[in-house]
């Protein structure tokens, strides 16, 4: 569910002029040295979660405790991935849409050519 929510946020951002302006600001932010620090913190959180899951403390938890923590860690990872690249979902959706339009254009063009051959 978290993944769908984050994807929706990403896609909705690019649907408005203001959102597109915000996306431009985000791209400028990625070139700032402070962004590298921010990324390093996010990576450190993910790495520490992974290390904890390999620890004796984690392996000694009950199955239910492990399950609950694994679910929480999975959702945390989704959020970290989103924060590392919040426009990824929008970019993938746009690429998918462009691909579908090309496919539809090729299908229509192919159908028209076949009709011309059949009638010609």
Structural domain boundaries of the chain? 2-87
For residue 111, the model assigns a pLDDT of: 58
DSSP of 12-40: HHTTSHHHHHHHHHHHHHHTSHHHHHHHH
Distance of CA 101 to the CA centre of its chain: 21
pLDDT, tens digit (0-9, with 9 covering 90-100), for 47-64: 999 999 999 999 999 999
Residue 49 in contact with residue 76, Cβ under 8 Å?
Answer: yes
Cβ-based neighbour number of residue 82 at 10 Å: 20
Residue in 69, 74, 16 with CA at minimum distance from that of residue 46 = 74
Record the pTM. 0.69
**pLDDT tens per residue, range 51-108:** 999 999 999 999 999 999 999 999 999 999 999 988 888 778 778 888 888 887 766 6
């Amino acid at each position: 569910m978290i993944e769908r929510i984050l994807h929706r946020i990403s896609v909705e951002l690019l649907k408005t002029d203001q959102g597109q302006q915000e996306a431009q600001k985000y791209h400028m932010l990625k070139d700032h040295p402070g962004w590298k620090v921010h990324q390093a913190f996010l990576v450190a959180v993910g790495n520490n979660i992974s290390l904890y899951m390999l620890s004796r403390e984690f392996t000694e938890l009950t199955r239910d405790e492990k399950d609950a923590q694994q679910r929480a860690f999975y959702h945390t990872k989704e959020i970290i991935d989103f924060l590392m690249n919040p426009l990824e979902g929008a970019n993938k959706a746009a690429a998918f849409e462009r691909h579908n339009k090309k496919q539809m254009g090729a299908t229509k063009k192919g159908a028209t050519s076949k009709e011309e051959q059949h009638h010609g």
